[in-house]
Chains A and B, each alone.
Chain A
Amino acid sequence: MADQVLDAKGLNCPLPILKTKKALKSLEGGNTLEVISTDPGSAADFAAFCRTTGNELLEQTEADGIYTYLIRKAG
């Protein structure tokens, strides 16, 4: 179970990333954030975001057009 869940369904680029960044800000290092998105472009974006920011992309799943990302905040 993630420490926090961010529902980003219905939002398109760049909002899923921007909202994720905002949500991560309020978390402690080591906490996990689950992001739910319907944006197909988000698949590559979340991987790139995590690589650049040093946050860890633990899990990435897709089912019926719903993309779920589990991210662990760095630190």
Chain B
Amino acid sequence: MSNVAEFNTPQAKPGIDPNTMSIIVTKGSLDWAYPPFILGSTAAAMGLKVTMFFTFYGLNLLMKDLNLQVSSLGNPAMKMPIMGMHMGMPNLISTIPGVDAIASKMMKNLMKKKGIAPIQELRELAVEAEVRMIACQMTMDMFEYGIDDMIDGLEIGGAATYIEVATQSHINLFI
């Protein structure tokens, strides 16, 4: 039944545990929230030690109250399945007030219909799986985000904190 390739033991630099992963999360929209949380939570479920470093718009994903949005503006690859076809949105449409909110609602409904976990659930599973989550000090200060608006269990750090994690991590992703 299975036609998957053989899994070879990864050869990392001596001293680095191959089952380690870090992700820099830089985007905060609904669509961009998925890759880091799916990869981070799945890696943790597979026994990897995972660290996620949230910076710039990634900080948006750490808020207690999540209301993630997606925009069709400048997103030429976004073609939503509507009435059996795939329809792209002209950029002009996204400038109409309320359209982004509608697009976001549509996407969330589509996700619900297809049984895709909401970001809140993936985030909770990541926290439960002891994924280390670090919020970037500098961008928090820049955007004037308060730690109290964010979920519990976060560390705060800067670039050097992330670099140290990365030097000990076999897989390092920038999303």
Query: How big is chain A's contact interface, by range?
Result: 20 to 34
Tell me if B1 is interfacial: C-beta within 8 Å of chain A: yes
| C-alpha spacing A52/B121, complex, angstroms | 24
Instruction: From A10, A20, A47, give the contact of B2 (CB < 8 A).
Output: A47
Chain A binding site: helix, strand, loop or mixed by DSSP?
A: helix
Number of residues of chain B lying within 8 A (CB) of chain A? 18
| C-alpha spacing A60/B129, complex, angstroms | 26
Taking CB atoms, residues of chain A closer than 8 Å to B46 are 17, 21, 48-49, 52-53
Query: Which B residues are closer than 8 A to A by beta carbons?
Result: 1-2, 4, 7, 38, 41-42, 45-47, 114-117, 121-122, 125, 129
**Sample of 16 further A-B pairs with CB below 8 A, known A11-B117, A47-B4:** A14-B38, A14-B41, A14-B42, A14-B122, A15-B117, A17-B45, A20-B45, A21-B45, A44-B2, A48-B4, A48-B7, A49-B45, A52-B46, A53-B47, A60-B1, A61-B1
